[in-house]
Amino acid sequence: MTGSNTHIFAVVLAGGRGERFWPISTEAQPKAFLRLVGSESLLQATVRRVRLLLPWTQIVVIVEERHADLVREQLPELPVANLLLEPQGRDTAAAIGLASLHLDRLDPDAIMIVLPADHYVPDGEAFAVVLRRAIRLLALHQDWVVMFGIPPARPETGYGYLEVGEPLASSPGAFRVRRFLEKPDRQTAERLSTDGYHYWNSGIFLWRNGAIQHLFARHMPQVWAGLCRIRESWGSQEALVREYGAFQKQSVDYGVLERMTEGVAMVEANFAWDDLGAWDALARVLPVDDSGNVIVGEVQSLDTTQSVIVSTGLRVATVGLSGIIVVASKDGVLVCPRERVQEVRRIARKSQ
């Protein structure tokens, strides 16, 4: 890229546990590193999309230290200095804050696009078009936060929502964000998904590095104070472990964005998107057979309908099932109704 876009850096957050994809997503190999859809891992697919716009030198991946070798194996082209290691997971606020310190050292005028590593976006070109639109919007409103809103495809209780206000005349497909709504109940989700004023919060953000640091200082002063101490001792593992370990786990949405009353815009992200939150999501992104099943691996099914059956290295057979999740791996076997798939994280935590 040339011109002003040389200041743009992608920060890929690869620290999520993916507990609802147990028993295949484990502490040793979390969801972002799995090949759930196609031949690439979710992390590799995320970076491939970014590479349509940015060179490797402008891509930063942040991950827990124990997963560093997985990143190096899957992204050998990533510059060594652009792999940031968290001593332990502290959610997105701490990870983004640490990345902002790194970008300070690379470019004092850095612009940060934040991308979760575990989303499914099959059309990289459509993603690039929306990102370019967001970059143009930020150029007009340099201290704003730009979010990416997904038009709701169904009533979804597992996502946060953005309520938009008036459209921005200078930026087609962009709106002011009026407020944030956390995961709603079913009745509320049905209303939000059809009223034309609400979008799914994709968890993708764009802002100037200096602006997000200012917002940390204003809305999360204790975290910012710790980050400043890390910056003063940059390169000291002892200081990083001490300060990072003192951070509370908190998302940037809750810690910063939901506390803002102005200066937040949203671009409509009209590309196919799924956050692959749990096993039932595979029925939205993988082929479904004539009985409504998603079958992955060595599986035989008889009189089985509307189910997701995944096997890695084990032979699995099902008889007379309907609306069931079955996942078999060397680390365990999961069987549960599709409507209770969100509860799999409870089992994952007990299995650690």
For residues 101 and 228, give the distance between their C-alpha atoms in angstroms, rounded to a whole number.
Answer: 9
| pLDDT number for residue 3 | 43
Q: Parse the chain into domains and list their residue ranges.
A: 3-268, 279-351
The H helix count followed by the E strand count for the chain is 11, 15
| pLDDT number for residue 1 | 40
Distances (CA, A) of 59 to 8, 15, 211, 320: 9, 16, 19, 48
Q: Taking the mean position of all CA atoms in its chain, how far away is CA 205? A: 10
Sign of the Cα torsion 265, 270, 271, 277 reads positive
Of 102, 125, 110, which Cα lies nearest the Cα of 50?
125
For residues 151 and 193, give the distance between their C-alpha atoms in angstroms, rounded to a whole number.
Answer: 8
Of 202, 32, 13, which Cα lies nearest the Cα of 112?
13
Edge-to-edge strand ranges of the sheet holding 308-311: 294-296, 308-311, 324-329, 332-337
Fold (topology level) of 3-268: Spore Coat Polysaccharide Biosynthesis Protein SpsA; Chain A (3.90.550)
CB 50 within 8 A of CB 10: yes
Regions of the chain with pLDDT less than 70: 1-4, 352
| pLDDT number for residue 2 | 38
Quote the pTM value.
0.94
> DSSP alpha helices (H): ranges in the chain?
42-50, 68-74, 91-106, 124-140, 186-192, 209-219, 221-232, 237-246, 252-255, 282-285, 344-351
Of 112, 123, 277, which Cα lies nearest the Cα of 202?
277
85-123 per-position pLDDT tens digit: 999 999 999 999 999 999 999 999 999 999 999 999 999
220-229's contacts with Cβ under 8 Å and 24+ in sequence apart are: 220/93, 220/250, 220/255, 220/256, 223/93, 223/94, 223/97, 223/247, 223/250, 223/255, 224/97, 227/97, 227/98, 227/100, 227/101
For residues 69 and 57, give the distance between their C-alpha atoms in angstroms, rounded to a whole number.
Answer: 19
For residues 176 and 57, give the distance between their C-alpha atoms in angstroms, rounded to a whole number.
Answer: 32
Six token digits for residue 214: 């200012």
